[in-house]
Chains A and B, each alone.
Chain A
Amino acid sequence: MQLGINDVEEAVAKTFAVILEREATIERVRAAEQSDTGTDNRLWRVITEAGALDIALPSETGGLQLASIVAEMIGEHLAPVPFTFATCAYRFIAGAGPDCEDLASEIGSGKSIVTVVPAAGRLDTDLWLAAEGAIADAVLNADGEGVWLYRRPDGVIRADTLDAGSTALWPIGVPTERRKVESGSRGVALWEALQTDIRVLAAAELIGMANRSIALAAEYACGRVQFGRPIGSYQGVSHPLADCATAVEGARLLVRKAGWAVDEQEPDRDAMGAMAFVNAWEVAQKAVSHALRVHGGYGFMTEYDIGIYYRRAKALPLLIGSWQSEQARLGRLLYGSRI
């Protein structure tokens, strides 16, 4: 058991803290929301050059847990980059057969961005909702035959969404070039592993959003005076924030444990990942809504940053599935063998 920060984790955290502090300013977050792709391309280049994708690949020092540290920081800053889904797609492709080597190196070198459309993203047979799809060159999706890579078709449009992110509508009905990357039982297993990866990194991102929301609310509550006192001295304000801070601390540990379980190929890794995701979903939701309300009417104004967290934290998990589908998935992973 080693629940401190090790040297590699510290180095990664420092590297990306510096980059995000400098580059992922709230002004650039807002600018990205207004852009064509919902993405800050310059930031993405800086982050990938710093090795954000490669540290996520399984190795002695890297892996999903390390990626979750970056994902959490991306969540804190709302960094408008295709990290969570694209990183998981990269892990998948890097672990796929030798046919995919060319593709893996394209992604690794920053030439291509590949993302994932989870099952729930298939709105209908010919219209898919692709998280991080506005700037993606290809997406991964699975059917009964295997896992496929779909090249970007004509007519992809950035979707107008709750999070104002880089989600896009992909018209798969038009002739779309596709290539099989995995099939058979190996394909099923890898696709399932990818599902867990996405949930772990999304959970980490949610924890980051929740954490920063609480910090914003605490700062506001120290400065805002009503009835002659800073509102942070009122327990109706402070106690729910304390509950949220506690829940975030615990949720972060669960995310890290899930990342560790994946890296170590522990038998319960999928259940651990599902637990971390469902928990982070609830924790983040509670945190952002209380944090916004602490700001009172100001929090409702678009000039205040807390509203962005409120939108983003709600939208992110929904790009993966519905609450009930995730509950069903978790229930199956924990108790499927006994039903």
Chain B
Amino acid sequence: MDFRESESITAVREAARTFVAEHVTDEVHEHEYRSGDGVNMAVHRAMGARGWILPRFPKEEGGAGMTAGEADALLFELSVAGVPKVGAYTTGIPAKAIRQFGTEALKSEVLPGVANGDTLICLGYTEPDSGSDVAAAKTRAVRDGDRWIINGQKVFTTFGHLAKYCFLLTRTDSDAPKHKGLTMFLVPLDAPGIEIHPVHTVGGERTNIVYYSDVSLSDHYRIGKVNDGWRVLRVALEEEHTGGLQFESVLVTEALEKWADTEGSDGAKPLADQTVRSTLARIRINNEVARLLGTLQSFRLDNGIPLGLVGPMAMLYGSEAYLENAKRALDLCGPAGVLKRGQPGAVGNGVIERLYRAAIAATIYGGTSEVMREQIAARALGLPRLKA
């Protein structure tokens, strides 16, 4: 194995840092902290102008023609600079499925706006009664001539209040087996019958509950075949398993290292304490391993090597490591660690406090750690599955 980073990836990192210096101001950080939107439209459009919303799409389709390795490096650099990237990252997930399964008419209507940063697409999978068991969705879509009537409720529709469309998982056949009665739609969120209610989270992120009441939708917005939604969704879910939500772990590390390298009120640097150095070492190991698993995943994607279970492993390790790092880091800080952003004396202006609250979500979004462990146990170790 050769671990030397390619020049093209180094160039992507440099471009990302230049972008950050130009576009990601204190106001951007403050707006994100106050709103929890996960997206800043000015920054989002500036990313779109560079093809960075859909970095792996070809340039002629508004992307940047990047490899998986380059796109991974881009997302990493933006993340560690604190760029609100949930909007870009999440919008990219259905974009890939639309490109693969959507009609030409739908693609030309939607994808150019997605690529240039005008259009956000949120995800409508999770319901009050179906989270990990995503295929148990009950939101109904009933055919009505060349239209569909949609009724139901979705939760965790993050940035739904800003998005133009929702990538919606519906049940179109209640009699078929669970996975065979699902259909995917792209729902314009300004359609009559849609109500969006905010939900606030421990991590400060704003998400939403979305109610669909007799929403009438043209068949034009169907993605893939009727009752073949699971296949479409799997493409999207695999994309989500490529992770990217745990890169902020590096921000925890940087803040902790800076704190440890600064003399405290007793005149000593925390780094002089072996316990502090050991904890930092563990955090650095966690980050290194998480990055290596993520890099292995993009390397395999770029070279047509079967992924195996690297996706779920990268996600499980990366998100658990992020959470563990945030917990250990905050423990070291003592009383000053609990102070939030803007408070005098807050460690790293409260960044570890904030990321401690945010990190737990990384072990839930895109599949909980337990869902990842189930996949690894079954497919990497061949253990029998406990089927309901």
Using CB atoms and an 8 Å cutoff, list the residues of chain A in contact with chain B.
1-6, 9, 65, 214-215, 218, 221-222, 229-230, 232-235, 237-239, 241-243, 245-247, 249-251, 253-254, 256-257, 260-261, 264, 275, 278-279, 327-328, 330-332, 334-335, 338-339
Contacts and interface: CB of A to CB of B under 8 A. Distances in A.
Interface in B2-30: 2-6, 9
Contacts, number: 155
B80 interface: no
Given A222-B383, A253-B292, A257-B3, A1 B285 contact: no
A233 B387 CA distance: 9
A242 B377 contact: yes
Given A241-B377, A254-B289, A330 B3 contact: no
Given A230-B384, A249-B313, A275-B285, A1 B292 contact: no
Given A242-B377, A257-B3, A275-B284, A327 B274 contact: yes
14 contacts: A4-B299, A5-B1, A6-B1, A218-B382, A234-B386, A235-B370, A235-B374, A238-B373, A241-B377, A246-B376, A247-B289, A250-B289, A328-B277, A330-B281
B380 interface: yes
Interface string B346-381: 000000000000000000000000101110110011
B383 A221 contact: yes
Interface residues of B, number: 49
Given A1-B2, A261-B3, A331-B281, A246 B313 contact: yes
A296 to B, nearest CB: 16
Contacts of A229: 384, 386
Contacts of B3: 1, 3, 256-257, 260-261
Contact of A250 (B274, B313, B370, B373): B313
Interface of B: 1-6, 9, 69, 260-261, 269, 271-272, 274, 277-278, 280-281, 284-285, 288-290, 292-293, 295-296, 299-300, 303, 305, 309-310, 313, 316-317, 370, 372-374, 376-377, 380-386
Nearest to A250: B289
A214 B190 CA distance: 52
B383 A232 contact: yes
Contact of B310 (A218, A237, A249, A251): A249
Given A250-B289, A338-B271, A245 B295 contact: no
